Structure 1
Amino acid sequence: MERVVQFTGPRQVEVARHESAELPPGHLRVRTRFSGISAGTELTAYRGTNPYLTRTWDAESRLFRDGAAGISYPVVGWGYSEVGEVTEVSPELPGTPGMPAVGDLVWGIWGHRSEGIVPAERMLGHTLPAGLAPLAGAFARVGAIAYNAILSAQIHLGEDVAVFGQGVIGLIATRLAQLSGARVTAVDAMDVRLAAARKYGAHSALDARSGTVADTIRAATDGRGADLAIEISGAYPALHEAVRSVAVGGRVVASGFYQGDGNGLRLGDEFHHNRVEIVCSQIGGVPAPLSGRWSVERLQQTFLRLVAEGHIDVAGLVSHVIPVADAADAYVLLDERPADALQVVLEF
C-alpha cells in the first residue's frame, strides 16, 4: 500500500493509503526516503489561499481565469522536494545514458507519497552526487529557487545586497549572495532567523519589526541604499521595504509567492520616485538573457554540486524530521509556530 499526504480542506491533513500502481513503460518506481515541506507554496494550499483554489490558470494565454477552480480539495500529494531509492525500472530503459538504476538514490519531484512513479526523462541526471547524505537531495528544488533569484539579481563583486525573508530559501539566498561576492544584509522579523542569517553569511541582520530597515541600510551605504534587494518572504510590506531600501535605479528581485491583494505595497512612493526596477524570479524558468546557458535542471544540479563540495550547509537548515504518519503535526508547526521551525522534512 502506498501512503499519500493530502489536504482534505483548509488546515485539514490526512495520510491516505492507496494500492500501488503498475509501472508503465518509460517510468521509474522510487521508494521515498525524505520529502521536504515547502513553507511557502504548500502552505497556501494548506491554508486555502492558493489562487488555483478559486481560479484556473490558462496555460495558452498565460492568464488566470475566474469562474472555476484549477484545483479542489482533496489536494493530493503536494510537495516538490523528494529523495528516494529506485526500486524498479521499466524494462526498455536500462542502458540509457544518465538513467538511474535500481538501488540508486535519486532526487526529484513526485510529492509527499511513499513511492513515486516518475517519467524517466524527468530523472535523467538526478542521481544523488557521491558522498552526499540522502537528506541533502531534498534541497535540490528549494536551492534552485534561491539560485534563480541570485541569477535574476545580477550581483557584482562588492555590491550591497539586502535579502528580505530568512526562512530556508532566504538563508540559502543569503549564502549564495555572499558566495557571489556581495556584502549581505539579512532582514527578518524573527530573532532565531536573524541569528541563522549571520551563520549563513550575512554581514548584518536587521529586525523587520523596527520600522527602520531602509534608513539603516542607507546609513550603512553612505546614504546610497543597497545596490539590489531580494524579497523572498512573500509579504507585500516586505516587498515595499525592499523597494525603499535600494538605491536610485536599484533592482528588487521579487521571489516570494504573494497572496491576495497588494496591501502594504505603495508604488507611488519610492518605487516611482527612485525609478526602482522590480524583477520577478519564479522557478518555472530562468532569466531570459541566460536561457541559452542556464536551465532549471542546471540550477538544481549545480546547487547540489555546491552542497557536495562543502560550499553550502543544508543539514544546518533542517529543524525537524517527522514521520509521515504525523504529517498533520508538521503543518501545524509551520503554520502556527514558524519561529520554531526551518526546514521540516517528512520521513517515509
Structure 2
Amino acid sequence: MKQVVQSYKTGEVALREVPVPQCGSKRILVRNQNSLISLGTERSTIELGRKSLLGKAAARPDLVRRAWDKAKKEGLLKTWQEAMGRLDTPTPLGYSSAGIVELCGVAATEFSPGDRVACIGQGFASHAEFVSVPVNLACRIPKEVSNEEAAFGMLGIIALHGVRSANLTFGSNVVVMGLGLLGLLTIQILKSYGCSVIAIDPAKDKTDLALRLGFLAVTNNADELVTLSNHASGGLGVDAVIITAATRDHAPVDQAIHLCRPKGRIVVVGTADIHPDRNELWQKEVDIVVSKAGGPGSVDPLYEIEGVDLPIGDVRWTQKRNLQEFLRLIAEEKIDLQSLITHRVNIEEAETVYAEFIAGTLLQPIGVLLAYPKATSIQRSFPITQKYVGKNNSGSNIALGVIGAGLFGKALLLPALKSQAGVTLHTLATGSGASVDHSARKFGFANQTTDPVSIWENPEIDAVIGLTPHSTHAQLVSKAITYGKALFLEKPVCVTPDELAQLREQTQSIRELPIIFVGHNRRYSPHTKRMSLWLSSRQAPLVIQMRINSGFVPASHWVHSEEEGRSRVVGEMSHFIDLIQCLVNAPIVRVFAERISSNNFSTVNNDNISINFKLEDGSVGSMIYSASGDKAYSRERTEIFFDGKTIVSNDFRHSELHQGGKAESFKTSGQEMGYEEELQAFLACSLGKVVPELSLQQLFATMDVIFAIEQSLASGQPVYPATINVLPT
C-alpha cells in the first residue's frame, strides 16, 4: 500500500510503498477513501523535522536535559545511539480519515466489514491506503454524510472540544481568533449551538469565506474587532475568546483578556505565546484554558489502544462521542464542509502537494483532501532485494527473522546483528508498515512483513529474534517450540503464572527443544565474567547485595498495565534475578519481599521494594529496587562478600576485588552490559558450536522466582519458588 511518511531526522516527506498493517483484536482495518491534511499540525511537525540537530535541541530543551542525565549514567555512546534511533523513526503523517471497514478484530464487535467509518488519531488515521484503527477512534458515518465530509472528523472534534472548553450557554458572545480550517469549523459549531460569533483573521480570503458562510461580524482589523465585540456584548465584554490561530506572538492572548468580560474564559485551541499580564488577569479573574485535542481520552492508552471507554455518567463527551456529534451536525446541515474543500488530489500526488504546501506555493489551501484507489490488494509481505542469498555450504551462516523493532531494538540489537559475520537478515516483521519498511531497508533485511506468521512458516529462516511487547512473549516461546526454531527473546519469558504453566505443559510433549535465549544480557558482560572469575575459587557461601536505582515510571505507563507489562517486577527484575544466580552459580530457593506503603501514583509501591534471598548453596542476598532516586545517579551497584574478600561493581563500568588491603580493578571505557556478547552466544548456540549456558527449564525457574516475589509482596510471607503454581486472586 502507499503511505505518506516523514523522516523526523531530515524532515523529508515521502510516499512509500509499505506492507498493510495487521488488524488487531480491538481494531478495525479500514480501506481509506479520503484523508484530510491538517495544515497547521503537519506544518509544525515537518518544520521541526527539517531543523538541524541544534535547532531540534533548541525547540525541545526538556528532551535535551533528559538525554544528558541519561548519558551521565549510561554513557554518551549508548544515549547517542538511542537518540538517533528516535530521530530516525519514520513518522506517519495524518490523523483524520474516512473509509470502509475491510476486517474487524474479534473484540471489535461494534463494526462489520463494509461499514463506512470516520477515523481519528495520530498514528492511526494516517495518510495511507489502509489503516488499523482502535475501536474508540472510529465510528460509523450517517448516510447523509459523504466520505469527504467524514474525513474532517479529527479537526472537527478538536474544534468541538475547544467550544466545550469555553463553558458556554445559549446566546453567549464568542470571539474566534484565526479563520483557518479550525477557526472556520469553530464558528460554524458555535452558530449551530446558538452562540453569537465575532471573528478575526488577517487574511482577506479567509474572512471573505466566513462572510459567504453567513457570518457578518468578521474583520481583518484588530481595532474593528473591539468595536464588533463591544456592539455584540453591549460594552460588557464577550463571554469567551477561542484562539484557533497558530502564532508565537503573545498579542492574541493579551487582546483576548481585554475583550473578555469579568470572569470570562480564553481557550487556546491553536498555538500562542501565553505570558499574560498578571494585573490584567487579576482585574477580571479571566480563566485561560489550553484545550487538549479532541476531548477526554486523548493520548490515553487505556482509552485509545485498549478500548476502555469512559462512563457516560462521569464523562459525557469523550473523543468518540464528540466525533459522533460532529457527524450529526454535518448530517443535519449545521456545518458546511464542501465550501471549505479547496484541493482534492490523489494519493499518488501527495509528495508534490506537500512540497508546494511547505514552499508556500499551494494556492490558498484550507481543506486539502487526499483520495485513494478502491482496488488495492491487501499485501503484508514483500521482498526488498531482488533475490534472497541463502546459506553457504560451510554451515557457518544463519538466516534470521526478527519480529519487532522498537527503540531498544533499533538502537542496540539490530545494529549489533547487522555487524555480525555469518548472519543473513532474512525478514523483519513489525505491526506498522511505515516502520517495517524503514527499518528493514536501514538494517539490510531481504524481506519485510507485517505478518509474523510468515517468519515462523518460512523454512529458509533458522532462528528468530523477538523484540515485541511483554504480553506477546509467551506466544513467541510457544511458536518457537512448535516450529522448532531457535529464539532470542527480550525478557521476560512470560507475564503470568498461567502462561508459564502452559509453556511447561507444552514442553512435556517435545522430545528435542529448540535453543531459547532470554535477554538477560548482564550475565554476558565482561564485568560479570571478571566477577565470576574472582569467585571461581571461593570455599564458603557468600553474601551478595544489589542496588538498582531504576528511575521513576508513571503509574499510567504500559509497563504497569495488567494486560501489557503487568509490573516492573515481572518486566525488568528477571535481569537481576538471573545475574544473582549467575554470580552465585546456584538457584534461588526462598524469597521474602516487602514494598513501601505510599499513594501508588506519584510513588509506585511495587517499584520500590526490598527483597531477601536464600540460595541453594547456602548463600544469601538482598536487593533494593527503587524508582524514587535521582535518575542521573548511578543505576546499579553490586557488592559481594566471601572468604575474607569483597567485590564491588558499579554500573558495568568499574569492578574491583578487595583482598588483603589491596584492590584489583577492572574498568571499561563505557558501560558494557553484554548485549553484543549475548547475541554472539545465541548465534553460536544456534549453529551448534557451543551449548547454551541455561536450559529452557532454568529460564522457567527464573520466572518462578519472579512470581514468588509477587506472591511474597502480596502475602507478606517468605515464598519458596518451587512451590509456586498460580498467584492467589
Which bracket does the TM-score occupy, shorter chain normalised?
Answer: 0.7 to 0.9
CA contact 2:296–2:319 (8 Å) conserved in 1: yes
Partner of 2:13: 13
Per-residue deviation, residues 168-222 of structure 1 (Å, max 9, x unmatched)? 11111101111222211111111111112223453310114x5553355235534
Partner of 2:103: 88
| Unmatched runs of 5 consecutive residues or more in structure 2 | 68-82, 298-311, 373-729
Per-residue deviation, residues 110-147 of structure 1 (Å, max 9, x unmatched)? 2111111234x336x61221232111111111111111
Q: How is 1:1-348 mapped onto 2 (pairs within 5 angstroms)?
A: 2-8=1-7, 12-48=12-48, 54=57, 66-68=65-67, 72-90=87-105, 92=106, 97-99=109-111, 101-109=112-120, 110=124, 111-119=126-134, 121-122=135-136, 126-208=139-221, 210=222, 213-214=225-226, 216-218=228-230, 221-235=233-247, 236=249, 237-258=251-272, 262=273, 265-268=275-278, 270-283=280-293, 285-286=295-296, 291-335=314-358, 336=360, 340-348=364-372
SS of residue paired to 2:15: strand
Question: Normalized per residue, which structure has more helix?
Answer: 2
SS of residue paired to 2:28: strand
Once residues 239 and 217 of structure 1 are traced to their aligned partners in structure 2, the CA distance between those partners, rounded to angstroms, is 15
SS of residue paired to 2:152: helix
Once residues 41 and 227 of structure 2 are traced to their aligned partners in structure 1, the CA distance between those partners, rounded to angstroms, is 31
Once residues 55 and 290 of structure 1 are traced to their aligned partners in structure 2, the CA distance between those partners, rounded to angstroms, is 44
Determine which structure has more spread, i.e. the larger CA radius of gyration: 2
Once residues 329 and 92 of structure 2 are traced to their aligned partners in structure 1, the CA distance between those partners, rounded to angstroms, is 29
CA contact 1:55–1:66 (8 Å) conserved in 2: no
Once residues 227 and 50 of structure 2 are traced to their aligned partners in structure 1, the CA distance between those partners, rounded to angstroms, is 34
Once residues 54 and 347 of structure 1 are traced to their aligned partners in structure 2, the CA distance between those partners, rounded to angstroms, is 36
Amino acid aligned to 2:370: L
| Unmatched runs of 5 consecutive residues or more in structure 1 | 58-62
Per-residue deviation, residues 11-34 of structure 1 (Å, max 9, x unmatched)? 531111113345444443221111
CA contact 1:128–1:137 (8 Å) conserved in 2: yes
Once residues 98 and 25 of structure 1 are traced to their aligned partners in structure 2, the CA distance between those partners, rounded to angstroms, is 12
SS of residue paired to 2:39: coil
CA contact 1:144–1:296 (8 Å) conserved in 2: yes
Deviation at 1:84, TM superposition (A): 1.5
Aligned pairs, how many?
330
Once residues 241 and 50 of structure 1 are traced to their aligned partners in structure 2, the CA distance between those partners, rounded to angstroms, is 32
SS of residue paired to 1:247: strand
Once residues 41 and 160 of structure 1 are traced to their aligned partners in structure 2, the CA distance between those partners, rounded to angstroms, is 28
Amino acid aligned to 2:367: Q
TM-score where L is the length of structure 1? 0.82
SS of residue paired to 1:40: helix
CA contact 1:251–1:276 (8 Å) conserved in 2: yes
Once residues 227 and 365 of structure 2 are traced to their aligned partners in structure 1, the CA distance between those partners, rounded to angstroms, is 30
TM-score where L is the length of structure 2? 0.41
Identity among equivalent pairs (%): 25
State which drifts further: 295-304 or 127-136.
127-136
CA contact 2:34–2:370 (8 Å) conserved in 1: yes
Per-residue deviation, residues 275-304 of structure 1 (Å, max 9, x unmatched)? 3211221126349x9953221111011110
SS of residue paired to 1:126: strand
Once residues 274 and 295 of structure 1 are traced to their aligned partners in structure 2, the CA distance between those partners, rounded to angstroms, is 31
CA contact 2:34–2:97 (8 Å) conserved in 1: yes
SS of residue paired to 1:113: coil
Once residues 158 and 268 of structure 2 are traced to their aligned partners in structure 1, the CA distance between those partners, rounded to angstroms, is 12
Once residues 323 and 251 of structure 1 are traced to their aligned partners in structure 2, the CA distance between those partners, rounded to angstroms, is 42
The 1:20–1:277 alpha-carbon spacing in structure 2 relative to 1, beyond 3 Å, is closer
Amino acid aligned to 1:342: I
The 1:49–1:249 alpha-carbon spacing in structure 2 relative to 1, beyond 3 Å, is farther
Deviation at 1:87, TM superposition (A): 2.1
Amino acid aligned to 2:287: E
Deviation at 1:232, TM superposition (A): 1.0
The 1:200–1:269 alpha-carbon spacing in structure 2 relative to 1, beyond 3 Å, is farther
Once residues 290 and 231 of structure 1 are traced to their aligned partners in structure 2, the CA distance between those partners, rounded to angstroms, is 30
Per-residue deviation, residues 85-112 of structure 1 (Å, max 9, x unmatched)? 222334x45xx6422x222221213211
CA contact 2:243–2:252 (8 Å) conserved in 1: yes
